[in-house]
Amino acid sequence: MFRHRHHNGLKTAGLFAAIFGLLLAVGGMIAAATSNSLFIWVFALIGLATTAYGYWNSDKIAIRAMRAYPVSEAQAPALHRIVRELSQRAGQPVPRIYVSPTQAPNAFATGRDPEHAAVAVTEGILGLLDERELRGVLGHELMHVYNRDVLTSSVAAAIAGVISSIGQFLAFSSLFGGDDERPNPLAMLATALLAPFGAMVIQLAISRTREYDADEDGARLTGDPLALASALRKLELGTRRAPLPPTPQLQNASHLMIANPFRAQDVSRLFSTHPPMADRVARLEAMAGHSLR
């Protein structure tokens, strides 16, 4: 929909190529270890099945994790007006609107396509941002749906899950295989440990590139990059004051949120689903400066 100055789409494609290459390398290792490629297909089918379920029900899973409830236009007129205006500007259906009863300031959008999308904000973000900043945040979140980022993250999660499953099988084979004709057990064990780690790092890097794209596209949709930059500054401080607990349910939904909802000590930069706020703000400010020239 938009041309990106920072080539985030190319970075995402490159990361997908890397994770596919890792999958092929690990698959080759297990085929050599077992002299049978059937196990690769079994793991792949399991990964695809679980990912298809998560993708098809992504809106329900995230909303349930955040305990969000639907709000009518009478209950949240400004929220409905902003979402409706931005959806119409993008030429897309208006998504369902939810509010999460938590003071941790955040927002997310999910759904397998624009026809089945939902956008949710927390009570904390409604109290923290003004309407202009909230519009910037909602533009960002809607672009996640319009860019099919839920599909992108689901595919990356599927491949990473398959690699992790294969890694576990390799670890078992290296310890109990006992066949001298098979590959070096130490090499297999190293692959079993390092491949899932590498797949996870690449998966998280894909998530970070999608955040940059949603920032750029959302700012273009609203026509106000500085509003989103201002919102991100407030969200960085707000999530520090009111972080969410890193429970498994929230960890699975955290990549959908506009700001990392956890404390900084709970997640390192390498394992973060979000780019540093300072980088995102700097890009948006540069974008605003470029549009004013």
Q: Is residue 212 part of a domain?
A: yes
Query: Which residues in the chain show pLDDT less than 50?
Result: 1-3, 6, 8, 270, 293
DSSP 8-state class, residue 115: G
Q: Which two tokens stand for residue 240?
A: 């520090």
Judged by DSSP in three states, 268 sits in: coil
Find the domain containing 47 and state its range.
8-292
The answer as to whether 257 is a domain residue is yes
Give the residue from 227, 203, 204, 216 showing the smallest Cα distance to 275. Answer: 204
The 10s digit of each residue's pLDDT in 171-223 is: 666 555 555 555 566 666 666 666 667 667 767 777 788 899 999 999 999 99
Asked if the structure places residue 1 within a domain, the reply is no
Name every residue whose Cβ is closer than 8 Å to that of residue 262 and which is 6 or more positions away in sequence: 239, 243, 244, 246, 250, 254
Q: Is 222 among the domain residues? A: yes
Number of domains in the chain: 1
Q: What is the pLDDT of residue 270?
A: 47
Give the per-residue pLDDT at 76. Answer: 96
Q: Does residue 3 sit within a domain?
A: no
Residue 286: inside a domain: yes
The verdict on residue 275 lying in a domain is yes
Active site residue 141: yes
Q: Find the catalytic residue in 73, 115, 123, 141.
A: 141
